Amino acid sequence: MFIVGSYTLAVVLCFITMLCWGSWANTQKIAAKSWRFELFYWDYVLGILLFSLILGFTLGSSGTQGMGFVENLRQAESGSILSALAGGIIFNLANILIVAAISIAGMSVAFPVGIGIALVLGVIINYIGMPQGNPVWLFGGVALVGLAIVIDALAYGRKAVQAQKVPAKGIIISIVGGVLMAMFYRFVAASMAKSMENPEVGLLTPYSALFVFSIGILISNFLFNTILMKKPFEGSPISYDQYFKGGMKEHFTGILGGMIWCIGMSLSILAAGKAGFAISYGLGQGATLIAALWGVFIWKEFKGAPKSVNALLSLMFILFAVGLVMIIVAGNN
């Protein structure tokens, strides 16, 4: 199987993770023009599962290092499988809440608040679980990112006051989703072997962990998303009949979104072998910055905002960038 061989490559993969995690939600924004996000989300989940299988049977089954995808699944113990499944279930609930928040509060708000909280708490949780990297640089960078999140919330608050509309429900859902999002990665990490070259008996490789994780997402989706379809945050209830009436474009958009997110997740856990889970997760969650850029410059969610709001947004981007650099430096100390 393919194994990351250097810290430099691990950082590059984390940046790609950042781009993927910060960009997949654009597919939901596109689909939202004709497709409810509850319906979009079924295809998104299928996209995650599909890519995990493609990766497992390609990079996870090639080369002479480590243990092959199928072989590793066969020898995995129930504890490892349950841990990866739990990670998928927790992620799915968190992600559904954040996707719902995107449709209510906008991409430049739901991502910075929800995923930003996930970054701060997630780095702490993963560092406690497996300390790796200089804690001063790591948590200093996380502190700057946290400050950037607060500034983004202030910027949106000023814009919302100007528009006389404050989507409190969207912000609350983002916060709850962010707290849950902070927890899922540790469960996946706990299921994985510490050595990719010589995996410990009973534990999973990144490729098999990703597949089991995606199964957890799919199984839990029959509960979480069905409830959401019957009792949506916004709009009227919808049925499964509406999903099967969707066109090829709508279904493809959701599957594409899931595959983009899964590319990011796979590279993140592959990079963790060299960077450590806390740093890998933290850099990946720099997706907040990417999503904010999409929301501000492409979707024009702050169009017409006063100059004071633009100044806050500029400061937010600077703090995010400096914070991410500090997280990278943490891995080299």
Which residue matches tokens 């509060």?
Answer: 105
Nearest to 328 by CA among 266, 269, 280, 265: 280
* Sequence-separated (6 or more) residues with CB below 8 Å from residue 333: 133, 134, 137
Q: Is the pLDDT of residue 164 over 60?
A: no
Q: In which band, very low, low, confident or very high, does the pLDDT at 166 lie, cut at 50, 70 and 90? A: very low
Tell me the two tokens of residue 14: 């984390």
What is the tens place of the pLDDT at every residue in 195-223? 888 899 999 999 999 999 999 999 999 99
What are residue 146's phi and psi, to 5 degrees? -60, -40
pLDDT at 151: 84
Which is more confident, 248 or 63? 248
Distance CA 287, CA 24 (A): 10
Tell me the two tokens of residue 60: 């996870």
Q: In which band, very low, low, confident or very high, does the pLDDT at 301 lie, cut at 50, 70 and 90? A: confident
Find residue 204's DSSP bridge partners. 192
Which residue matches tokens 């939600």?
Answer: 25
Cα atoms in the 13 Å half-sphere on the side-chain side of 155: 28
pLDDT at 156: 67
Q: Please state the length of the chain.
A: 333
What are residue 331's phi and psi, to 5 degrees? -75, -15
pLDDT mean across residues, the chain: 89
Nearest to 115 by CA among 49, 176, 39: 176
Mean pLDDT of 316-330: 91
Tell me the two tokens of residue 30: 């596109």
Three-state DSSP class for 204?
Answer: strand
Please classify residue 273 by burial: count the beta carbons closer than 10 Å to its beta carbon, then call 0-12 exposed, 13-18 middle and 19+ buried: buried
Give residue 200's identity as a one-letter amino acid code: E
Distance CA 310, CA 290 (A): 17
What is the tens place of the pLDDT at every residue in 114-161? 877 888 899 999 999 999 999 999 999 999 988 887 787 677 667 655
Distance CA 129, CA 277 (A): 9
pLDDT at 160: 58
Mean pLDDT of 34-61: 95
* Sequence-separated (6 or more) residues with CB below 8 Å from residue 71: none
Torsion of Cα atoms, 85 then 328 then 261 then 9, to 10°: -90
Find residue 192's DSSP bridge partners. 204
pLDDT at 298: 79
Which is more confident, 165 or 216? 216
Cα atoms in the 13 Å half-sphere on the side-chain side of 240: 4
pLDDT at 25: 82
Please classify residue 289 by burial: count the beta carbons closer than 10 Å to its beta carbon, then call 0-12 exposed, 13-18 middle and 19+ buried: buried
pLDDT at 148: 84
Q: Is the pLDDT of residue 329 over 80?
A: yes
Nearest to 268 by CA among 258, 282, 255: 282
What is the tens place of the pLDDT at every residue in 70-129? 999 999 999 999 999 999 999 999 988 887 787 677 656 676 778 778 888 999 999 999
Quick check: 116 and 287 in contact, CB under 8 A?
Answer: no
Nearest to 101 by CA among 215, 34, 180: 180
Which residue matches tokens 């023009």?
Answer: 33
What is the tens place of the pLDDT at every residue in 275-294? 999 999 988 887 877 877 88
